[in-house]
Amino acid sequence: MSISARITGIGSCLPERVLKNTDLEALVETSDEWIVSRTGIRERRIVDEGQATSHLAKKALSAALTCAGLGPGDIDLLIVGTSSPDMIFPSTACLVQHDLGMSCPSYDVNAACSGFVYALHAGAAAIESHRATRVAVVGADALTRHIDFTDRTTCVLFGDGAGAVILEAGEEAGVLAVSLGADGAGADLLKIPAGGSAAPVTREVLAARTNYLTMNGNEVFRFAVNVIPRATIEALEASGLTVADLDWLVPHQANQRIIRTVEKRLGLPHDRVFSHVDRVGNTSAGSIPLALDDLYTSGRLAPGDLVALVGFGAGLTWGAAVVRWTLARPTKEA
């Protein structure tokens, strides 16, 4: 019998601390007007002292478990997509697993901002190959820990956050297709050069500030507006569907201009493309599940809707998942 993975629970977490564009005006030579017109971002949430990626991931996963009506002991595999783990090792997944009192195999996936779609691919594959029946898939990042708040070209873009879904095995098709891609030739376009084994943190590294994120924004923009439509169509074709069948596109929330360009290239109506980048900024691997949870809790996602989740990021990596939504609309009390 063919078994499919479907989403039976969803949750998310944003840190409480709000960083507005006007706060950034006090740190670097920028303006609210520049940030809004070039990115669409008005504010983002950032972690406080003492908070790390695992804290956001844990809260998002707890909410997803509650939504699914499951407990931590019901999950038999945990996958966390992140590129800002609490530590180089152990994995953030192991920290979350322990904090929540889970006992399942747990591991991280690093595909930067595509991390959630990569983790979803692995989780769905585990279910389809009968190696797991209930998988928790989390996308979580606290990238502001790796941002140089003296660099105006990057510090205005990023925020922190996490989202999680529960995948369960069933005969009803949920995750219809996941299409992934990578091109390491673009590795230099977006990276944190130091802090890994190639360039451990030294006094020289700290002086040169190479332990912070660097990016060629124009090249990444060009890559994004080409790869998102291509990946979306590829995943739809793998499901035997077309853009006309889509009810929602939930793209990686990096820049409203990227989202708008993609929407036009795919010929999608504006009100079918979800965006809340104005409120959260780019939360990396947290971005897509956070956006999906926002769409779900707002009551706009109906059972039976066809949703495409599409990410791109450092690597370069990209990934698109086509999902038939199977969760009932949230109740008012939820």
Residue 303 preceded by cis peptide, ω within 30:
no
Query: By rule CB under 6 A, what count of residues binds ligand UT7?
Result: 19
Based on the shown chain and the rule CB under 6 A, indicate whether residue 310 belongs to the binding site for ligand UT7: no
Residue 252 designated active-site: yes
Query: Does the annotation mark 146 as catalytic?
Result: no
The span from the CA of 118 to the CA of 110, in Å, is 8
**Considering the complex, what minimum distance in angstroms separates the CB of residue 14 from ligand UT7?**
17
Cβ-based nearer residue to ligand UT7, 153 or 298: 153
Residue in 70, 221, 265, 278 binding ligand UT7, rule: CB under 6 A? 221
Q: Which residue from 224, 246, 285, 291 is in contact with ligand UT7, where contact means CB under 6 A?
A: 224
Question: Three-state SS string across the chain, please?
Answer: CCCEEEEEEEEEECCCCEEEHHHHHCCCCCCHHHHHHHHCCCEEECCCCCCCHHHHHHHHHHHHHHHHCCCHHHCCEEEEECCCCCCCCCCHHHHHHHHCCCCCCEEEECCHHHHHHHHHHHHHHHHHCCCCCEEEEEEEECHHHHCCCCCHHHHCCECCEEEEEEEEEECCCCEEEEEEEECHHHHHHEECCCCCCCCCCCHHHHHHCCCCCEECHHHHHHHHHHHHHHHHHHHHHHCCCCHHHCCEEEECCCCHHHHHHHHHHHCCCHHHECCCHHHHCECHHHHHHHHHHHHHHCCCCCCCCEEEEEEEECCCEEEEEEEECCCCCCCCCC
Binding residue (CB under 6 A) for ligand UT7 from 218, 244, 271, 328? 218
In the complex, minimum distance from the CB of residue 112 to ligand UT7, in angstroms, rounded to a whole number: 7
- Cα–Cα distances in Å, from 330 out to 57, 69, 168, 294, 308? 21, 13, 18, 11, 20
- Residue whose C-beta lies closest to ligand UT7: 217
Site for ligand UT7 in 99-158 (CB under 6 A): 113, 152-153, 156
Taking CB under 6 A as the binding criterion, the range among 2-10, 32-40, 133-141, 170-178 that sits at the site for ligand UT7 is: 32-40
Q: What is the nearest approach in angstroms of ligand UT7 to the Cβ of residue 44? A: 13
Binder to ligand UT7 among 313, 319, 323, 324 (CB under 6 A)?
313
113 classed as catalytic: yes
**Span near ligand UT7 by CB under 6 A; candidates 31-39, 82-90, 264-272, 295-303:** 31-39
Site for ligand UT7 in 233-292 (CB under 6 A): 254-255, 282
Q: Which residue's CB is nearer to ligand UT7, number 117 or number 176?
A: 117
Environment class of 197 (CB within 10 Å of its CB; exposed 0-12, middle 13-18, buried 19+): exposed
297 touches ligand UT7 (CB under 6 A): no
Supply the minimum distance, in Å, between the C-beta of residue 84 and ligand UT7. 12
CB nearer to ligand UT7: give 143 or 235. 143
| Residue 103 vs 150, nearer CB to ligand UT7 | 150
Q: Smaller CB distance to ligand UT7: residue 47 or 227?
A: 227
Q: What crossing angle do the helices spanning 217-238 and 256-266 adopt, rounded to 10°?
A: 40
Q: Does 84 bind ligand UT7 (CB under 6 A)?
A: no
Catalytic residue among 94, 110, 252, 255: 252
Interface ranges with ligand UT7 (CB under 6 A) = 30, 34-35, 38-39, 113, 152-153, 156, 215, 217-218, 220-221, 224, 254-255, 282, 313
Active site residues: 113, 252, 282
